[in-house]
Amino acid sequence: MVKVQNWLAEGNYRADADRVLQRVLDAPEHVGELMQIVLEGSDAAQVNRASMVVGNLGRIQPGWLTPYLDAMLEALDQPRFPSVGRNLLRYLSELPSDAIPERLHGKLVDLALRITDDPEAAVANRVFAMQVVANFCDLYPDLAGELRACLTHHIPNGSPGFRSRGRKILSSLPE
């Protein structure tokens, strides 16, 4: 774990994340180290940078993170740092529902609905969570009603970002 920790400790925050992402892409054997920092790390700055790397890695090589889905859901249930929840939810919101093992569907959808329904949760987390639920509506059509009810309830008092994404999702939900 020392190698990725050292990479994360170098220089500028955003540049660090981009540099570490490139190093992990060049040496995929370090994905486990990176995930260990995100899921178990105690240094807030390192965990924040590492979670940014994970979020970006998920866009480029989403399959590299699938072995960690169980641990990610556990971390989302009780995130130690705000960046962890935001970046893991972003990754999950961009992942096709069929890329997630069926055994995790219920747990993920339940968690994402709870986050979407929580007015105290960070706006980005709520927006990514509502997208996660929306992604499953094709597989589970009854879910559309639950999501519709949640969004309809929260849109009037939601932030501009919540309202915008919520309206887009409402318009795309099956009847």
pLDDT (0 to 100) of residue 11: 55
The domain boundary, picked from 95, 129, 152, lies at: 95
pLDDT (0 to 100) of residue 20: 87
Instruction: State whether 32 and 48 are in the same domain.
Output: yes
Tokens of 136: 């499953």
CB 85 within 8 A of CB 122: yes
Tokens of 150: 């949640």
Instruction: State whether 18 and 85 are in the same domain.
Output: yes
pLDDT (0 to 100) of residue 2: 55
Instruction: State whether 87 and 170 are in the same domain.
Output: no
pLDDT (0 to 100) of residue 83: 85
User: What is the count of structural domains for the chain?
Assistant: 2
23: containing domain: 1-69+80-95
Whole-model pTM: value is 0.88
Chunk the chain into consecutive blocks of 10 residues (it has 175) and report each block's average pLDDT, rounded to whole numbers.
64 73 94 94 87 91 94 89 90 92 96 96 96 96 96 96 96 87
Instruction: State whether 131 and 54 are in the same domain.
Output: no
Is 157 domain-assigned? yes
Instruction: State whether 86 and 112 are in the same domain.
Output: no
Rounded-to-integer distance, Cα 146 and Cα 29, Å: 40
Rounded-to-integer distance, Cα 12 and Cα 14, Å: 6
Is 75 domain-assigned? no
CB-based burial, 83-113: b 16+ in 10 Å, e otherwise: bbbbbbbbbbbbbebeebeeeeeebbbebbb
pLDDT (0 to 100) of residue 7: 62
